[in-house]
Structure 1
Amino acid sequence: MMMTDLYDRYLQNPKICTDTRKIIAGCLFFALKGPHFNGNEFAKEALKKGASYAIVDDELYAIDDKYILVKNALTTLQELARFHRKELKCKVLGITGSNGKTTSKELCLQVLKKKFNTLATSGNLNNHIGVPLSILSIGTDTEIAIIEMGANHINEIEFLCGIAQPDYGVITNVGKAHLEGFGSLEGVLQAKTELYRYLATKDAPVFVKDNDYVLIDKIPKECPIIRYGELKESNYIIKYNGAQPFVKVLLNETQIQSQLIGDYNFDNIALSIAIGMEFGIETIDIKEAIESYVASNNRSQIIKTNANTILLDAYNSNPMSLEKAIQNLENIKHENKVMILGDMFELGEETNIEHQKIIDQCLKSGVSNVFLVGKIFNAINNTKYTSFDNTRDLVELLKTQAIEDAFILIKGSRGMKLEQVVDCL
């Protein structure tokens, strides 16, 4: 089938599904494959549940005209998204970076929708499957789309840019994340700046923090640079105004009080303000958007229990973000501070070194009550802190040894599932 014909069928009811548990009536079902499943086996079920067509890549399953046989279902999904993007009139803002992508995306969404019909990547749909799904969720009435792009190997951002075709771009920062795939910090920088190199092909602008000289140095001359931050030469001057515990900023003479903890969130807030200003959002609307945003989904999420205050940041962890989280805890004014820290994944040859650095930082922090969770932390010899092989073992301890009247930082990689300890606190 020609892509134009498939696109016509998509336009009849522009909904895409890849999971038979989430079928939408009239959708196109793409039979994707994974390590432990073959989507072709679920195509019949998808049609029974209301899908209009099933896109399959095994002729054994293409038994009637409701099945559309293609060479590769995933490649077809990506090509359909690329075709759709070319038909869209909206502006696309591409966001990538080692930390802060999702928080920045959500803040930008809150700001931009004050004036524009704005869509943003749902959840963390930021990979070779998620970005096509995000693009295909954009309607013809959308004015701005914010597309988050993640990667753990070289050339992934370049590939995703070919699908999303951003008109603006931002790299939130570059740190030691996914080193197994990138090899080194220089590899991370090379991969993330693929966004810049794509934007250079269309003379498209880049938003960048005014003092991030590593990234500024990588911006091609073809890209107009929109600087934001505290330096007087910036296009948009946003000043840090404290964080005890919630970050405050000044935009001209207007104070904006966020509901985000940690001075590291200043960069995310400043970016959303700069983007809002660039797109003509009024200061009062920017203030309202940022002040109303509350973090969720285990990302810088504040939870108050009967006994404690918890900063739950258990969606992801890497050396850069964990170091900043510990520094932030040091600055919080509270008599009883606790850290529950989980393993950081995908660090390759630097795994043990980076985990030891975190233990050393904890020792210098002045926080005495520290729990380390995961096989990596547990394998490192330390005489100061209690460590556990897994989250379940910590939960069992907390059931018998209550923590009370504490401010607790919980941070670890997603696979550690540290949010499970919250019910014990």
Structure 2
Amino acid sequence: MINKTAREINQILKGRLSGDLDINPMIERVAYDTRQIHLAHEVMFVALAGERRDGHNYIKKAYDAGVRAFLIHRNIDTSIFGGSIFIIVEDTLASLQILAAAHRQRFDVPVIGITGSNGKTIVKEWLYQILSSEKNIAKSPKSFNSQLGVPISVFTINEGSNMAIIEAGISRKNEMKSLEEIVKPTIGILTYVGAAHSEGFESKEEKLLEKLIFFKDASTVIFQNTELNLRCFNNLYPQKNRFTWSVNGEGDVVYNIEKIKAHKSTITINYNGERSNIKIPFIDDVYLHNAFTCISYLIWSGHQMEQIETMVSKLMPISMRLELKRGMFNSVLINDTYNSDINSIAIAFSAAKKEAAGRKMVLIVSEFAASTNHTISDYDTLIQLINDIDPAVFIGVGEEIRQLNGKLKASISTQFFHSTSSLLQGLDITIIRDSVVLLKGARKHSFEIIVDKLEQRAHESSLEINLSALKHNLELYQSKIHSGTGIMVMIKASAYGSGSIEVARILQQQGVEYLSVAYIDEGIDLRKAGITLPIMVMNSGMDFIERMVEYDLEPEIYAPKQLDNLLTYLSRNDEKIRAHLKLDTGMHRLGFTMDEVEMLIEKLKDNTSIQIVSIFSHLAGSGEALFDDYTNYQAAYFEKMAKTISTGLRINPMKHILNSSGIARFPQFQYEMVRLGIGLYGFDPSGFVLDLKTVMTLKARISRIKTITEGNTVGYDRRWKALRTSNIATISIGYADGLRRQAGNGKWQVLIHGSRVDIVGSICMDMTMVDVTDIPGVQEGDEVTIFGEVNRADKLAEVYQTIPYEVFTGISSRVKRTYIME
């Protein structure tokens, strides 16, 4: 809560006021995205300027949402926004950081500052889990650790806070100084420093030194005792206190991993000459190292070993992601069941509002976690948030949340249950029909049980689509195109197997200019799902013109007979349509040839029913340097054909010829639009676009583990023989799901507990066997990654002797799709 008036904020920022100077609203929070606005009368909208978007263009939208206070840095006509006050500064982001720094200075509380390459969010959330029963803790929401995210995090500190845990992340030199000035950590924690976000630094040492700036005013810094960590820390802070840990090495605390069994590790802790044994509910190296960081903090802060074991025994894996799943009765489930504090609820409500896009909304929300980190006013805020988002149905779980009964809008149908079990017994689940359902619950209420009941029953395997990674890839390509050039995103073949509707929604939110599908049915499904972006249909055929017009779809015109049919229908029915002309410049697939251009002009020159929106062609070899001469030939040929048509028809349509590979390799041919396909999903065939993130991860589960003695065989045709006594796991995926038989017999390795294991024997229709002999602690029900960030789909494509497109589109529809937003 900022708890400052607009004039007080202006004094801090040394800005200039404009607009209605008779008002002076109290500001409690900021918003930088109009889709995140709740309780608008308490909000100051911050107009941030990015590479492709400028928040000043959204001021009217924020005003229409009820906001009456604005932080801007451009000169605009403020008089048109009656009853509003504007604070004008030189740089809105820098001013937001100054405001956050002033907010931080108001509170004399311990602030744990966390930075590193990996593990920041997990360590922050685990410390919050551990300490929230002792203290009222403010913390960074989710992974808010950027130049924008850190100020937002600091604003969570309020009068009731007696500790804060704030994480900070950087990606280039000279970024940490501003974050340190905002947060001023009193205690520092450095997590693992590795390869992540290294592009902006010349060396790992340079990156580490930049991160250590965060601890300038910290009294003590806690970190793993590695040679590099110690050297850099001593160089920068020779007099500062440090508290170090190691595994089987040297440090203030030394950990030894004694035993791993059944998803638990037995750890020996050596501290101050004493040895203690505790059990940790993890066996994965990454989780163990993050747990060691948390335990080291607890030891440093004076907790006894018995307390520590109790605390860490309750730690649970962290999912800082929203999951979107297909629910029963044509519903969409948004699963955010990790925690339930007021800040995370506001974020989840924003996500639900965006996903709903006008559809019926159902909220299932628990009481806050049973700790001291919430107040009566938090429930008042929750009431306001619910009334603001205006769901059709609100379902509350827990005793405390019953205080909302009778305080929500009359239009909101309400139900309250004492517990999750009483909800499962008493809820009529048909209430979720055709709805977007948000489940937001404190961990103790086990809302995952509700998700399991409401989820559309499906195959045990799943294709996980990371919408945050997809958004990152889109922004990466957007940074590579010229100003004024639009992007048409290809979501044919169900968005390369990922699910076109969910992907289209995120693309619409991100403001892409066009979508393209292969067939009309795909376009109709998008329209029925509320997608309003222009949609080009590539294979529109000749028999579906009426439906094209009905659903405002734009056909690709690629053949004379198809054009004749379209003209005849439109003339007969007095209809109009927008369309795209496809030219054949060397792909020799669909499209008009040079010989057909004069005929094309003749047919269209007196036409009033078809508006040619774009002229385009397709490159045959843009990803291969071997074919660069041919690509240049195609582009020149395309320009000649397009100019002839445009001149002949006296039109000025958009032109586009570049696909994912061409965007980076041939920027001179970007024209008015480019087409983004496989690059959006994390693969650039040209190899020119770096830092793409993995979007799709195929997962299965272990159905059964058997011990096979030496000499026995596994699978059809006895293709694999055990050379030793082996543990063989059968996993829930086969060639009917899209894991081809070419991957069998040791040709591909899946990932279990972070370790690669061979597929043994032939892949069956519904099952596959893998050798887990060398993996400690593996159990039935464990997750198996078929392909993902580590064992990448392009490498599996090499095993198949094909391309990643075919790997993705070959995943069966019976494999359920799960969507996550980090």
**TM-score, normalized by length of structure 2?**
0.39
1:279 aligned partner, one-letter code? S
2:153 aligned partner, one-letter code? S
Give runs of aligned pairs for residues 4-403 of structure 1, distance below 5 A.
5=11, 12-25=26-39, 26-63=42-79, 66-183=85-202, 186=203, 188-199=204-215, 201-202=216-217, 204-210=219-225, 212-219=226-233, 220-230=237-247, 234-244=251-261, 246-250=263-267, 253=276, 255-258=278-281, 260=282, 262-281=284-303, 283=305, 286-290=308-312, 291-297=314-320, 308=460, 335-336=729-730, 365-368=756-759, 383-384=798-799, 388-389=803-804, 394-399=807-812
Number of corresponding residues: 367
SS where residue 158 of structure 2 aligns? coil
2:296 aligned partner, one-letter code? A
- Give the gaps of 5 or more residues in structure 2: 1-6, 15-22, 270-274, 323-337, 339-447, 470-681, 683-689, 695-700, 706-726, 734-747, 760-769, 771-784
Q: Deviation per CA, 1:238-265, whole angstroms, max 9, x where unpaired? A: 543444463435466463332x451221
SS where residue 85 of structure 1 aligns? helix
**34 and 197 in structure 1: CA distance in 2 versus 1, 3 angstrom threshold:** closer
For 1:227 and 1:156, the matched residues in 2 are separated by: 26
User: Post-superposition shift, 1:180?
Assistant: 2.4
For 2:303 and 2:728, the matched residues in 1 are separated by: 37
Report if the CA contact (8 A) 1:158-1:195 is conserved: no
1:269 aligned partner, one-letter code? A
User: Post-superposition shift, 1:173?
Assistant: 1.5
User: Post-superposition shift, 1:217?
Assistant: 1.9
Partner residue of 1:349? none
Report if the CA contact (8 A) 1:18-1:29 is conserved: yes
SS where residue 217 of structure 1 aligns? helix
- Give the gaps of 5 or more residues in structure 1: 323-328, 340-358, 404-417
For 2:807 and 2:184, the matched residues in 1 are separated by: 45
User: Post-superposition shift, 1:203?
Assistant: 6.0
2:729 aligned partner, one-letter code? E
Which deviates more from structure 2 when the two are superposed, residues 234-243 or residues 301-310?
Answer: 301-310
For 1:272 and 1:73, the matched residues in 2 are separated by: 36
User: Post-superposition shift, 1:78?
Assistant: 0.9
Which deviates more from structure 2 when the two are superposed, residues 63-72 or residues 108-117?
Answer: 63-72
Report if the CA contact (8 A) 1:98-1:177 is conserved: yes
SS where residue 57 of structure 2 aligns? helix
Partner residue of 2:523? none
Q: Deviation per CA, 1:29-61, whole angstroms, max 9, x where unpaired? A: 111122332212222332443434111112214
**100 and 122 in structure 1: CA distance in 2 versus 1, 3 angstrom threshold:** same
SS where residue 145 of structure 1 aligns? strand
**195 and 223 in structure 1: CA distance in 2 versus 1, 3 angstrom threshold:** farther
SS where residue 243 of structure 2 aligns? strand
**TM-score, normalized by length of structure 1?**
0.70
Structure with the higher fraction of residues in helix conformation: 1
Q: Deviation per CA, 1:300-323, whole angstroms, max 9, x where unpaired? A: x9999976588989788999xx9x
For 1:194 and 1:11, the matched residues in 2 are separated by: 39
User: Post-superposition shift, 1:198?
Assistant: 4.8
For 2:258 and 2:228, the matched residues in 1 are separated by: 25
Identical counterparts, % of pairs: 20
User: Post-superposition shift, 1:7?
Assistant: 7.6
**196 and 181 in structure 1: CA distance in 2 versus 1, 3 angstrom threshold:** closer
Report if the CA contact (8 A) 1:227-1:236 is conserved: yes
1:389 aligned partner, one-letter code? P
For 2:167 and 2:305, the matched residues in 1 are separated by: 25
User: Post-superposition shift, 1:70?
Assistant: 1.6
Report if the CA contact (8 A) 1:24-1:50 is conserved: no
Report if the CA contact (8 A) 2:111-2:185 is conserved: yes
1:256 aligned partner, one-letter code? K
Report if the CA contact (8 A) 1:371-1:386 is conserved: no
Q: Which one has a bigger Cα radius of gyration? A: 2
Q: Deviation per CA, 1:314-365, whole angstroms, max 9, x where unpaired? A: 788999xx9xxxxxx9xx97624799xxxxxxxxxxxxxxxxxxx9999x94
For 2:108 and 2:262, the matched residues in 1 are separated by: 41
**207 and 94 in structure 1: CA distance in 2 versus 1, 3 angstrom threshold:** same
Report if the CA contact (8 A) 2:110-2:164 is conserved: yes
**389 and 269 in structure 1: CA distance in 2 versus 1, 3 angstrom threshold:** same
2:319 aligned partner, one-letter code? S
Q: Deviation per CA, 1:239-296, whole angstroms, max 9, x where unpaired? A: 43444463435466463332x4512211101111222233344555544543242321
Report if the CA contact (8 A) 2:32-2:46 is conserved: yes
SS where residue 107 of structure 1 aligns? helix
Report if the CA contact (8 A) 2:797-2:807 is conserved: no
Report if the CA contact (8 A) 1:74-1:129 is conserved: yes
Partner residue of 2:672? none
For 2:295 and 2:119, the matched residues in 1 are separated by: 15
User: Post-superposition shift, 1:297?
Assistant: 3.6
For 1:236 and 1:54, the matched residues in 2 are separated by: 50
